[in-house]
Amino acid sequence: DQQVKQNSPSLSVQEGRISILNCDYTNSMFDYFLWYKKYPAEGPTFLISISSIKDKNEDGRFTVFLNKSAKHLSLHIVPSQPGDSAVYFCAASLTGANSKLTFGKGITLSVRP
Amino acid sequence: DVKVTQSSRYLVKRTGEKVFLECVQDMDHENMFWYRQDPGLGLRLIYFSYDVKMKEKGDIPEGYSVSREKKERFSLILESASTNQTSMYLCASSFSGGGPKNIQYFGAGTRLSVL
C-alpha cells in the first residue's frame, strides 16, 4: 500500500514559468513533509519541508503548500530554471517512527529553455 | 555541512560474489539508512539502524544484511550478489526525534552492476 503518491511521473515547463509538483498521502498521522531533489548519478538533496501545523512554507523560489483536509501537498517553483530539471521526491514522516521517511516514486521535471 | 560519504561511486561485481558497501557520516547522527533506487520504483528502504549494533528491516531486506559497529559507519552487505541487485544504492543519515530532525542527508550513491 503506497502511502505517499506522486501520480504524475513527469512534468515539462517553459523556463520562467511556474512548476507545480503534486503529492498525495493517505496516512493522516504524518506530521512532517519534505521535498528532495535528485540529479542523475547523485544522491537526493533536501530542498524544503513543512510541518503539519502549517499550510505554507517558502524558501526563495520554492514554496510548499499543505492541505491537510485533502491530504495533499504541492511544491511550487517560481520562476523555473533549466537547472531545476531533476527528479523530485515527496516524503512524509511521523514522530516516533524511528525517523523513517516514506517516499513517493518521484516526478521528473524538465524545464525547457 | 553534513557529509555522508559512500566508499564507491561505481562497482562491478560478478554473480555470487559477496559485496560490501560502506557509508560514513560525520554529523553524529543516530539513524542511518540504506535505500536502493530503481527507475519507476522510487526510493525503497532496505535496512536502517537507530543505534550502534541495532538494525531493523525495511521494505526490501531480502538478500541483504547490514552492520553498524560504530556510530558513524553503516555497511550494507550483499551475501551473494545476483543480477536483480543491480541498482543505485543510497545511504542516508538523520537525527532521532520528530519534525526537522527527520531530515535525512544522503550520500552520492553507489551504482552497482552485477554481471
pLDDT confidence of residue B100: 83
Residue A87 scores a pLDDT above 70? yes
Residue B2 CA to residue B95 CA, distance in Å, equals: 11
Give the chain A residue nearest B88 (alpha carbons).
A41
Higher pLDDT, B96 or A81: A81
Local confidence band at B102 (pLDDT 50, 70, 90 cut-offs) = confident
Residue A2 scores a pLDDT above 90? no
Residue B1 scores a pLDDT above 80? no
Query: How confident is the model over B90-109, as a mean pLDDT?
Result: 90
Residue B42 CA to residue A103 CA, distance in Å, equals: 7
Inter-chain touch A43–B99, beta carbons under 8 Å: no
pLDDT tens-digit map of B6-19 = 989 999 999 999 99
Query: How confident is the model over A5-28, as a mean pLDDT?
Result: 96
pLDDT confidence of residue A95: 78
Q: Are A90 and A11 in contact (CB under 8 A)?
A: no
pLDDT tens-digit map of A60-70 = 999 999 999 99
B43, B45, B102: residue with CB nearest A32? B102
Mean residue pLDDT of chain A comes to: 94
| Selected residues 12-71 of chain A with any CB under 8 Å from a CB in chain B | 31-32, 34, 36, 41-46, 49, 51
- Alpha-carbon gap: B92 to the closest alpha carbon of chain A (Å): 9
Pairs of residues, one from chain A and one from chain B, whose beta carbons lie less than 8 Å apart: 69
Local confidence band at A34 (pLDDT 50, 70, 90 cut-offs) = very high
Give the chain B residue nearest A39 (alpha carbons).
B108
Interface of B with A (CB under 8 A): 4, 9, 31, 33, 40-43, 45, 48, 50, 56, 90, 92, 94-109, 111
- Alpha-carbon gap: B108 to the closest alpha carbon of chain A (Å): 4
Strand partners, B106: B92
Higher pLDDT, A97 or B27: B27
Angle (CA) B104-A46-B62 rounded to 5° is 45
pLDDT confidence of residue A97: 63
